[in-house]
Amino acid sequence: MSTITIEVVTDGNIEPCRVLCDELMAFQQSKAVMAPELFDMMNFDTRMRRSYDHALHTHVLIVKDDDVPVGYAFSTVSNVEQEDLGIPAWAPNQEQEGSKGFYPDWIETPQQIGFLSNLYLRDGYRSMGLGSKLFNMSMTWLESFPDVDLLFIYVSNGNEEALDFYIKQGFTYSHDVFGGFIKAVYRKKK
């Protein structure tokens, strides 16, 4: 019988998430209906490592089955400044009328914002309540910051199941990022 545990990374070693993050990027690419080729450049180093290294605060949870990583959740708190409100050069649909970046028009800067950046479980572990547990543990951590009043989650296009899950958890649709490449949902802190 296997033993499933959830560990909080406290020593800064997020390397056990490398393979899982790369699997998540491949999963998102398989679901994408818009610009799936952009996921070719997304991996642990370009997504998770970069976000981890640049965030004010980070929180990583790793699900293990007999000490083998099978899922993770990664959350951050970051400062959002005025210059962060634009659209990056790599983004699709930059010229599309009304295309927005990561943040809606009503964001006031500077501001600390919390993000659930990644939540992923391998097949076979998705119907065990682990996703909800990772989500709830991540929300508890994000909501522990008194200066963070706003939480965001970005869902890749085509991943309607994840979008529905977050909306059922009390998040509200905010806007299409880069003309629909990503869907943004938010929640004001309780």
- Model confidence over 111-162: pLDDT tens digits? 999 999 999 999 999 989 999 999 999 999 999 999 999 999 999 999 999 9
CB of 157 closer than 8 Å to CB of 27: no
Model pTM greater than 0.85? yes
109 touches 80 (CB < 8 A): yes
Interstrand relation of 68-80 and 172-177 (parallel, antiparallel or unpaired):
unpaired
Checking if the pLDDT of 24 tops 60, the result is yes
The chain-wide mean pLDDT, for the chain, equals: 90
pLDDT band at 183 (very low <50, low <70, confident <90, very high): very high
Distance CA 75, CA 55 (A): 9
HSE-CB for 52 with a 13 A CA cutoff: 22
| 3 state DSSP class of 7 | strand
Q: How confident is the model at residue 110 (pLDDT cuts 50, 70, 90)?
A: confident
**Tokens for 9?**
């990374």
> Quick one: pLDDT at residue 178?
81
DSSP secondary structure code for residue 46 in this structure: I
